[in-house]
Structures are given as C-alpha cells and as structure tokens.
Amino acid sequence: MPVGWWGWNWEPPIPMSVTELLEARNMDARTAALCGMVLEAHGSILIAAEQPHSGKTTTLTALLDFLPNRVRRVFLRGWVETFDYLRQTKSDETILLGNELSSHLPVYLWGPKAVRVFETLRHGYALGSTLHADSAGEAIAQLTGELGVASADLARVDLLMVMRVYGTMHGAYARRVVSVHHLTPRNGSGVRLTPLIEHDDNADAHRHHEDAELALLAARRGDRPAESEAELQRRTGFLSDLVRLGCRQIPNVRAELARYRGERAPLEMRGDPTQ
C-alpha cells in the first residue's frame, strides 16, 4: 500500500469496489461509466468533499480499476516529492496520484510542489487526487486562489466531482456524489465549469446533462458523440449487470472490468491501495 494513501487513521477504511459504491447509491451506474471512460482515455479527476470520511479516497481508489493495464501509477510523495517521474515515465501512459491536496499531513500535497504537479499536466500526464471543498466553485477558488495553481493548468483536469455525507434516520451515514463538472479554460482567464451531473436531493437520484457528457467523451476519446453515447450506454448496462449479479469483491470486479477492456487483471499490482 502506498505510504499514507488513506491519510491519518487509527485503522484505514475498508476499500470498496465500484459495484459496492453503486449498491450504496453513492452514484449511479452512468456516473461511474462516465468517470471510467474518461480515466481509461487518460483523463484526470479531482474529488472534493468538505467533511472528512465523505468517501473521497475510497471513490478515487475504486475508479482506478477502470485504468488499462499499460497505465503506470505514480503515487506522489507529498512534501518529499522529487519529481523523478518526469525522467522515468511516459506522460501519455502515466497517471499521477495524490491522496489529498492540503497542508494537513506531510504525505499530502500543498504549496509549490502541488503547483508544480499541475504544471506537469502540460506534458500530458493524467492526475487523480482529492481535496476538501463543499462545491465546485469553492474547489476552484481554493486551488487557483489559495494554492496558486494557474487556471490554464487546472483546466486540464477533465472531471471535478463533489461528494457529501449525510446522517440517516437510522443512525447510519449516506454518501452521495452531488455534482460532477467538466473543467475547461475560460476565454481570457479563469476556469469554466460545465455541469455534467447533479444530485436531486428530493428524489435521491442523479440528473445528467447528456449533451455535455457526450461532448467531453468525444473530445477525450477522439470519436463522434454518437459513438460515445453508444459506448456510455453499453458500459452503464454492464455495470448495472455486475451489481444485479452480485459481483462485489474487488478482485472479481477488477477481473470483469479488465475483461470488458479485452485484458486480464494483473495478479499483482504495484502500489495497490487496497492491499
């Protein structure tokens, strides 16, 4: 397990598979399929939540199972990051993984080193990380204002997901993806937030901006919106079937996701956060 991936806890959280997150209604199958297609096409994702234990790292870890086998995972080392990966990896086959963008722990990324990580996205690296913020606008303000990330660099991140945790009437907790936005450069300066997914609290359901989703997928995957739509529907159905069939264990889910890609899941994974 990468050092400090789960932050400071007496006991690390129990990792969950994508299908377990779907069963818990944290997100719907289309949201998971969209995120998976973006990551598979070498896209980047940030997951924000204000409250601790909202499921940020658990969700990011589960979504990594969509990555093709060829993708190298570089776990960033917080305050002691040396950026050796710039000399040792191919940017178009590498995703940079930071467990959190904050100054709370030495294993987290903040300050000039965090800014430099975003600068390396110019070279074609993908990024997956988390941060504390309660809305997409708050996350953008924190990263560009407080941290000082250039808007043009932040706009290279495809997906900004926001999660919240709620107490239930039965004394348990429910976690929900409340929004997903696509980041793009705003003319002149700044970052444009294009809504992709929103959570309807009253219906406890996710609403999708389908045209915006398909435009993102077509641009990231290099195909036509109609092709992206067909594949998104296939993947949504595939994930729904896995849930229906009771495929929950992480190794089994990994094997099914790999099979869908036409690959075999590796027997061992270097730096597996679930081990």
pLDDT in tens, 134-177: 999 999 999 999 999 999 999 999 999 999 998 777 777 899 99
What residue ranges do the domains of the chain occupy?
Answer: 21-261
Q: What does the pLDDT look like over 213-264, one tens digit per residue?
A: 999 999 999 999 999 999 999 999 999 999 999 999 999 999 999 999 999 9
Task: Report strand pairing: 173-185 vs 191-200.
Answer: antiparallel
Encoded tokens for 23: 């069963």
Dist CA 90 CA 240 (whole Å): 34
Overall pTM > 0.85: yes
Best CATH choice for the domain 21-261 from the list 3.40.50.720, 3.40.50.1580, 1.10.1740.10, 3.40.50.300? 3.40.50.300
Angle at Cα 274 formed by Cα 272 and Cα 275, nearest 5°? Answer: 75
C-beta separation of 29 from 240 below 8 A: yes
> Which distant-in-sequence residues (6+ apart) come within 8 Å of 260 by Cβ?
235, 238
